[in-house]
C-alpha cells in the first residue's frame, strides 16, 4: 500500500515536536524516537513518530523462521521492540520472577501515520488518512504547562537491598575468579506499586534533564517506556552493520569545567573501565564476525569518550560488512542480547543473570527502533528508562553495571545510583 506524503514548513522545531508528541499520545500505539539533534558519523534520523498500527507482527516465541519471512516482506516502515528475554529460552528459570510491566518479547507494527521532523519542515506520510488534516490537528495541540512538571514524590523500593547487592557482587566475582566468566552485567530494579503518573509529563521532565541521542517515548496500549538512552545496539545501513557499546561511566561537573575535564581524563585513563570496554568490544567483534564477510569486522573507535548532560561515557564502535542474504533473524541470532548488557562469555553470564538477578528485565536492556522500506534498521539499548503499566499502576526502573575481577562493589553501587540520577530527580 502506497503512502500519501506531504511536506509542511514549521515555525518552531521545538514547539512542533512537543505538539506532535502530545497529539500522538491520544492513540493506543505510538513510537516517538528522538536524537535531540545529536549528530555523529552514523546519524540518519533526527526525530521520527509512528502512530496507530495497521499491521502487527508478534511472532511465536523464538521463531527465527517467522522473523525471516517478516523481514523478507518488509516494504514499508515498521517500529517496535525486542525484550531482553526474547533470545534465551535455553536459560532455565531459577526464581519465580514476574513481569509487572508486560511488554511482549517481540513486537513490530506498521504505522498508519509516519512523521519525520527536521529543523524547518515536517514530512507526514499516511496510508489512509489525510496529511493536511493531521498537520492541522497537531498545530491545534495546547502544550502550555506540559513541560512544567511537578515533583512526583514517588516512594521507590529496591528489589534487592544494598547489603544483598554488595554480597551478590562478591559472589559474582567468585565466578570470575573460578574462570566461569570474565565480565557480567548485573542489574537491579527499583519499583513502586499503586502509582499513577502522567507518562507524557514524566517523559518531558526526563529528557529535559537527560536529552540523550537514543531517547524514545514508546506506548503499547497500557504499557509505557520512557527512555533516555545514550546507547545504540545495532544499525544496518545497506550492507554495513554498526554496533556502539557503552562501558565506562563517570559523573559530569557542569559547575566547574576544570573538574569536569579532570573527570573526563580520569575515565579515559581508567584501567578498570578500559578492561570492561575491551571485553565487550571483543564479544561484539565475535558476534558480528558470524554474519559479516571475512576480514570486514573492524574496531573503528576504541575507548572514545563522549559527553552527555549527566555523565561522560566510554563508547567503542565496531563495524562489519554483512554476508549476502543475511536477514534480521540471523543478525539477532548472532548479536542479541547485546554484549554491553550481558558480558562474556554470553551464554554463561546469561545463566548467572537469571540465577542472581531478582527481577525479569523485560524490555529493559532490550531494544526499541525501526526498520525502513529498504530493510535498513536502527535499534537502541533500553537503559536510563522508566517503565510503567497504567492498568496495574506498576512503575519500575532498572540499572546495572559491568562487574569484573577489579570491580569495587561499593563503587559499582554508586555507579548504579549515578546512572539513575536523572530518573530519581524526576520521580523522587
Domain holding 357: CATH number?
A: 3.60.120.10
Contacts of 71 (CB under 8 A, 6+ apart): 327, 328, 329, 371, 375
Note if 231 is an active site residue.
Answer: yes
The candidate with the shortest Cα–Cα distance to 51, out of 124, 143, 147, 152, is: 124
Catalytic residue among 100, 231, 330, 354: 231
Instruction: Name the DSSP letter for residue 342.
Output: S
Note if 354 is an active site residue.
Answer: no
Question: Is 381 among the domain residues?
Answer: yes
Question: Is 145 among the domain residues?
Answer: no
How high is the pLDDT of residue 226?
A: 98
* Grid coordinates belonging to 60: 511465536
How high is the pLDDT of residue 89?
A: 64
How many beta carbons lie within 10 A of that of residue 133, not counting itself?
A: 11
Whole-angstrom distance, CA of residue 339 vs CA of residue 233: 9
The candidate with the shortest Cα–Cα distance to 386, out of 162, 170, 154, is: 154
H or E stretch at 22: helix 13-24
How high is the pLDDT of residue 143?
A: 87
Question: Is 351 among the domain residues?
Answer: yes
How high is the pLDDT of residue 98?
A: 81
Q: For residue 108, which phi and psi values (nearest 5 degrees)?
A: -130, 145
Question: Is 233 among the domain residues?
Answer: yes
Q: List the chain residues with pLDDT less than 50.
A: none
How high is the pLDDT of residue 93?
A: 60
Whole-angstrom distance, CA of residue 253 vs CA of residue 267: 13
Question: Is 336 among the domain residues?
Answer: yes
CB 301 within 8 Å of CB 41: no
**How many domains is the chain built from?**
1
Three-state SS at 96: coil
Question: Is 374 among the domain residues?
Answer: yes
Instruction: Name the DSSP letter for residue 92.
Output: -
Question: Is 344 among the domain residues?
Answer: yes
Q: What is the pTM of this model?
A: 0.95
Site of grid cell 521492540: 81
Three-state SS at 99: coil
Question: Is 84 among the domain residues?
Answer: yes
Three-state SS at 186: strand
Catalytic residue among 105, 223, 236, 247: 247
Domain of residue 315, residue span: 4-140+150-427
How high is the pLDDT of residue 204?
A: 95
Amino acid at each position: 500500500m502506497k503512502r500519501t506524503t506531504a511536506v509542511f514548513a514549521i515555525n518552531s522545531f521545538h514547539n512542533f515536536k512537543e505538539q506532535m508528541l502530545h497529539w500522538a499520545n491520544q492513540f493506543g500505539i505510538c513510537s516517538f524516537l528522538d536524537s535531540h539533534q545529536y549528530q555523529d558519523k552514523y546519524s540518519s534520523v533526527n526525530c521520527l513518530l509512528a502512530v496507530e498500527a495497521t499491521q502487527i507482527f508478534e511472532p511465536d516465541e523464538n521463531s527465527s523462521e517467522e522473523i525471516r519471512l517478516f523481514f523478507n516482506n518488509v516494504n514499508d516502515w515498521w517500529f517496535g521492540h525486542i525484550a531482553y528475554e526474547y533470545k534465551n529460552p535455553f536459560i532455565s528459570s531459577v526464581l519465580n520472577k514476574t513481569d509487572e510491566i508486560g511488554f511482549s518479547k517481540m513486537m513490530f507494527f506498521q504505522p498508519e501515520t509516519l512523521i519525520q521532523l527536521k529543523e524547518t519542515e515536517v514530512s507526514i506520510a499516511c496510508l489512509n488518512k489525510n496529511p493536511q488534516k493531521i498537520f492541522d490537528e497537531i498545530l491545534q495541540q495546547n502544550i502550555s504547562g506540559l513541560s512544567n512538571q511537578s515533583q512526583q514524590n514517588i516512594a521507590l523500593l529496591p528489589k534487592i537491598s544494598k547489603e544483598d547487592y554488595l554480597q551478590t557482587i562478591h559472589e559474582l566475582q567468585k565466578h570470575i575468579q573460578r574462570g566461569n566468566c570474565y565480565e557480567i552485567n548485573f542489574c537491579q530494579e527499583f519499583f513502586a506499586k499503586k502509582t499513577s503518573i502522567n507518562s507524557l509529563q514524566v517523559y518531558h521532565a526526563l529528557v529535559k534533564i537527560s536529552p540523550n541521542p537514543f531517547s524514545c517515548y514508546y506506548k503499547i496500549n497500557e504499557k509505557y517506556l520512557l527512555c533516555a538512552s545514550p546507547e545504540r545496539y545495532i544499525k544496518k545501513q545497506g550492507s554495513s552493520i554498526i554496533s556502539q557499546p557503552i562501558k565506562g561511566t563517570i559523573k559530569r561537573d557542569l559547575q566547574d569545567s576544570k573538574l569536569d575535564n579532570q573527570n573526563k581524563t580520569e575515565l579515559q585513563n581508567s584501567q578498570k573501565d578500559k578492561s570492561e570496554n575491551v571485553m565487550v568490544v571483543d564479544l561484539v567483534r565475535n558476534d558480528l564476525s558470524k554474519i559479516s564477510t571475512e576480514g570486514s569486522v573492524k574496531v573503528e573507535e576504541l575507548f572514545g569518550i563522549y559527553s552527555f548532560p549527566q555523565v561522560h561515557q566510554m563508547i567503542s564502535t565496531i563495524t562489519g560488512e554483512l554476508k549476502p542474504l543475511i536477514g534480521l533473524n540471523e543478525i539477532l541470532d548472532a548479536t542479541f542480547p547485546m554484549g554491553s548488557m550481558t558480558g562474556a562469555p554470553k551464554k554463561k553470564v546469561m545463566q548467572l543473570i537469571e540465577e542472581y538477578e531478582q527481577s525479569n528485565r523485560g524490555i529493559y536492556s532490550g531494544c526499541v527502533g525501526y526498520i525502513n522500506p529498504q530493510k535498513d534498521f536502527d535499534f537502541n539499548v533500553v537503559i536510563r528508562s522508566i517503565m510503567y503499566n497504567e492498568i496495574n499502576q506498576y512503575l519500575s526502573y532498572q540499572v546495572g553495571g559491568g562487574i569484573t575481577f577489579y570491580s569495587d562493589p561499593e563503587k559499582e553501587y554508586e555507579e548504579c545510583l549515578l546512572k539513575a540520577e536523572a530518573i530519581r530527580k524526576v520521580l523522587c
